[in-house]
Amino acid sequence: MDGEDLLQALHGATEFESVGDAPAQEQAASSLVIPPELKGCVTNVTAGNRKMPVLKAMMTTACERNCLYCPFRTGRSGMRRVTFSPDSMAQGFMALYQAGVVEGLFLSSGVVRGGVTSQDAIIDTGTILREKYGFRGYMHLKVMPGAERDQVRRTMALADRVSVNLEAPNSERLAQIAPVKQFDEELLTRLRWIEDLRREHTGEPVPSSTTEFVVGPAGEPDLEILSTTDYLHRQLGLARAYFSAFKPVIETPLDNYPATDLTRQLRLYQASFLLRDYSFELEELPFTGEGNLPLGIDPKHAWADMNLLHAPLEVNTASRHDLMRIPGIGGKGAARIIAARRKNTLRSLSDLRAAGVANTNRPAPYLLLDGHSPTQQLRLF
C-alpha cells in the first residue's frame, strides 16, 4: 500500500479523535504533497515539546459496539468501512513518513471480534514499524476496551503515548451513552494497569497516558468530569484529559440531541489545567449550583474575582504558588517576577512589564506593587 492509498482509504474516518497536547490548535497539515481533500488525516499536533505532522489512522472503521454518539457504531449504514492489515497499515505509514508527509502516528481502531483481537492488530502494526522498518518516531497507540494486561504492557513498550478513552466520568453516565462499555472493568482498570506498569519501570522511558470525554450527551455536570480528571491526574499519572464537545452525527440515536457549546469544552480545558498545573483544588473551582463552570468567564478569572479583588496579593512577597493564581500570570511569569524582585522592589506596572509580564492589564486588579494598587496607574495608560 502506498501513502496516498492509505490516505484515500482513511479519508473522513479519523476526524473524531484528539491527538496532541493542544487540540484546539490542531490544524490540517499544510504539506504540498497531500491532496487538499485528504489533509484531514494528517494533523499538525504538539506532541512532547514540539510540533509535528501526525497521521491519524484506524485499523478498522468497522465496530461491533453501539455507542450512541459514535459515527462508527454498528449498523450505521452511512459509514464507509475500511479495514487494514498490520502490514498494509505499516507500509502505508512508512511511505508517508519517507516522503516527509508525516513524522508520527496516532493509531486507534473500532472493536471487531473483541477488544483483545483489535489490540493485537494495533500491537502488530507498532511492532512491524519498530522492528521491521526501524521507525523511531512518535507513536501514540490506543488501548482498546477489554485489552489484556500483557497487551497493555506490550503496547506501552512500543509507544510514546497510550490512551484509554473513558468517554464519561463514571459508570452511570457511561451506561447512558455507551450501553455495552463497562466503565470499571474495561476502561478504568486499563488506566490503572498503565500506571502500575509505569511504576514498575521507574527510571526507564515510559509512555504518557491520556483519556477523552464526550461532553454533554450523558447530562453530566462539569463537576463530575473534573472530579474524575483530578483523580486521574493525581492517582493514575494521567498526562492530560481531552474534552470533546458532543456533535450530533446523523443516523445515530443522538442525531437530534443538541450539540454541546464549544465554550464549555474550553472552560473544561482551562479548569483541568488549573487542577494539573496551578495547584488548584477541585473545591476551589467556581462551580454553579448545578455543578457547572460559568461559560462567560474563564475559571481562573472567576476565582480571582471572588478571592483576590478584595484581598490583592503583594507581588514582592507572594509565593510562586500564589503568584500563579493571579490571572495573566503563569509558571513562567511567576518565575520571572521572582527573579526580578530579587534585584529590585517592583513598584509599578512598567516594572512588572520589564520583569517579563507582557500584558499587565489582566493581573493589575488582583495585585499590589510595594503596597499600592496599580489600578490607578492602569487608568493612566
Nearer to ligand SF4, 72 or 138 (CB): 72
Q: Does residue number 72 form part of the binding site for ligand SF4 (CB under 6 A)?
A: yes
**Shortest spacing between CB 66 and ligand SF4, in angstroms:** 6
What are the φ and ψ backbone dihedral angles of 332, each rounded to 5 degrees? -65, -45
What are the φ and ψ backbone dihedral angles of 187, each rounded to 5 degrees? -115, -65
Binding mask 149-188 for ligand SF4 (x = CB under 6 A): -----------------------------x----------
**Shortest spacing between CB 111 and ligand SF4, in angstroms:** 5
- Residues binding ligand SF4: what is the number (CB under 6 A)? 9
Q: Which of 63, 187, 238, 364 binds ligand SF4 (CB under 6 A)?
A: 63
Tell me which residue of 327, 376, 305 sits closest to 347, measured CA to CA.
376
**Shortest spacing between CB 72 and ligand SF4, in angstroms:** 4
3-state SS, residue 57: strand
Pairing status of strand 208-215 against strand 161-163:
parallel
CB 305 within 8 A of CB 351: no
Give CA–CA dist 17/14, Å, rounded. 7
What are the φ and ψ backbone dihedral angles of 80, each rounded to 5 degrees? -75, 125
Binding mask 253-292 for ligand SF4 (x = CB under 6 A): ----------------------------------------
**Shortest spacing between CB 182 and ligand SF4, in angstroms:** 12
The cell for 113 is 471480534
Nearer to ligand SF4, 76 or 301 (CB): 76
List Cα–Cα distances, 60 to 40, 74, 81, 269, in angstroms.
Answer: 17, 12, 7, 30
Q: Does residue number 67 form part of the binding site for ligand SF4 (CB under 6 A)?
A: yes
Which amino acid, 286? P
Give CA–CA dist 300/327, Å, rounded. 6
Element (H, E) at 4: helix 3-10
**Shortest spacing between CB 153 and ligand SF4, in angstroms:** 22
Q: Which of 11, 46, 48, 65 binds ligand SF4 (CB under 6 A)?
A: 65
Find residue 171's DSSP bridge partners: none
**Shortest spacing between CB 155 and ligand SF4, in angstroms:** 16
**Shortest spacing between CB 145 and ligand SF4, in angstroms:** 6
Burial class (CB in 10 A: 0-12, 13-18, 19+), 239: middle
**Residues 310-349 interacting with ligand SF4 (rule: CB under 6 A):** none
**Residues 98-127 interacting with ligand SF4 (rule: CB under 6 A):** 110-111
List residues near ligand SF4 by CB under 6 A. Answer: 63, 65, 67, 70, 72-73, 110-111, 178
